[in-house]
Chains A and B, each alone.
Chain A
Amino acid sequence: MDEMDLLSRLGADTPPLADDTRRKARAMLVTKTSQSTVAGRTRSRRRSGLWIGAIAAGAATLATAVAVASMTSSPAYAVDQRGDGTVEVTIKEFVDAKGLQRRLIDAGIPAVIDYIPDGKGTCTQPRGDELPPNQTPMLTSPQGDSPASFSLSPAMIRADQTLVLEAIFDARNPENASAVRVSIVRGPVSACNPTAGPTDGPTTGPIIEHTDDPASGSTQETYSSSGS
């Protein structure tokens, strides 16, 4: 037995790539590719995302807050995976968008999550080539003590697709959102560059700026007061 024969046998019983690891790594990559800027790309003008809340009726109603469950002592969100692979997402407070994004990626769902403080406009729509509503997870409207929630199966998200969730939240009471929107985008997802809306104007609420690095998994949130 020569040295190469010996070497080739060492570690030959290394376990194969686990399905969970594959899903997570793939979701991370797809999220990254979906956020890559492609100059000159023609986007679909279809607008099929589902806005839940006041914004569905028009931007003029943005300021109408929708009560979301107030559970300040519990985590901001929950991502639960059932035995059949279905993922249930519950959002109790609209903070730590990138934490929720990472948690979804861990569950094998490429995702882009953006929370925008009320009064700072909305993400320019569409963010990409959106699937029609009947292929989009149904979002349960936050009402009373019931938080916003939706469920989906990783199978709903195909190879080049990304879950996109946006919320306009009350900076003073992050458990409140005036609008929540969920969609599935095929291909690239444009960055959220909030447009100036009718509710724009002086505000004392904080602006949350995210610096997200999918490669390292690190996220930094910088809070500042626009009113100061």
Chain B
Amino acid sequence: MDSIDQRPSSAEASDAAIIERSRGRPEAFAQIFDRHADRVHRYLARRIGVTDADDLLSATFLTAFEERHRFDPGKSTAGAAPWLLGIATNLLHNHRRAEVRRLEVLAQAATVPHESSSADRVDARVDASAAAKLVMDILVKQPVGDRDALLLFAWADLSYEQIADALDIPVGTVRSRIHRVRTRMRTSINNPLSSDEGQ
């Protein structure tokens, strides 16, 4: 999993400094958009598809601007990304049907590419595609809080601590939520007939 570090260099103003400045100069907040729009959109698009993500991108930054006084610089070692992704995640909760549709589409389209075309590789690809469908099936059925934690980890590249900040929950809760979903996925992959168990 590639990790994206969008923290500014020491020569640039930190996100916390920009947000602080935007309290007196609101227009400064546009810099937060410039820094994080791509990452927030990518996360949203993976969860609900590009069209809905386009709308939620605006809503995320308008909400963030309105609530910039709530941004806690003490939690900002990773910049504003966890905070913004947390706002985006909350807004996603009003689009659960779109998300389920999106996850089902991903499950249907699930293929895991291999460079080789040998028979063994084809078999492996089929197995991997079936496993991917099982993974998405489990994901759709999880409580939304568990899914949020896992996808912020897997698709938004946040650490457990950053997810805790984003969702405003203890880091231990993040750990247990992700562990719970991963265990269910692993069980489902290893024993597909048991995929409905433990939910």
What A residues does B62 contact at CB under 8 A? Answer: 28-29, 32, 214-215
Chain B residues near A28 (CB-CB < 8 A): 58, 62
- B25 x A187 contact (CB < 8 A): yes
Does the CB pair A33–B22 fall under 8 Å? yes
Question: Does A167 sit at the interface, judged by CB under 8 A?
Answer: no
Smallest distance from the beta carbon of A30 to chain B beta carbons, Å?
Answer: 5
Q: Mark B6-45, 1 if CB is under 8 A from A, else 0.
A: 0000000000000000101111111101100110011001
How many interface residues does chain A have, given as a range? 35 or more
Provide the main secondary structure of the chain B interface: helix
- CB neighbours (8 Å) of B154 from chain A are 4, 7-8
> Does A174 sit within 8 A of B, measured CB to CB?
no
B38 engages A1 (CB within 8 Å): no
Assess whether A6 is in contact with B128, with CB atoms less than 8 Å apart. yes
> Which residues of A sit under 8 angstroms from B57, Cβ to Cβ?
17, 21, 25
In the complex, are the beta carbons of B26 and A36 less than 8 A apart? yes
Cβ contact within 8 Å between A29 and B106: no
Question: Interface code A128-167, partner B: CB below 8 Å = 1, 0 otherwise?
Answer: 0000000000000000000000000000000110000000
Among B26, B58, B135, point to the contact of A7 (Cβ < 8 A).
B135
Are the C-beta atoms of B27 and A188 separated by less than 8 Å?
A: yes
With A11-B106, A21-B54 known, 12 other A-B pairs at CB within 8 A are A6-B132, A11-B46, A15-B45, A16-B42, A17-B38, A17-B41, A17-B57, A26-B33, A33-B26, A36-B26, A38-B26, A187-B27
Give residues in B with beta carbon < 8 Å to A. 1, 22, 24-31, 33-34, 37-38, 41-42, 45-46, 50, 54, 57-59, 61-63, 65-66, 106, 110, 112, 128, 131-132, 135-136, 139, 150, 154-155, 182, 185-186, 189
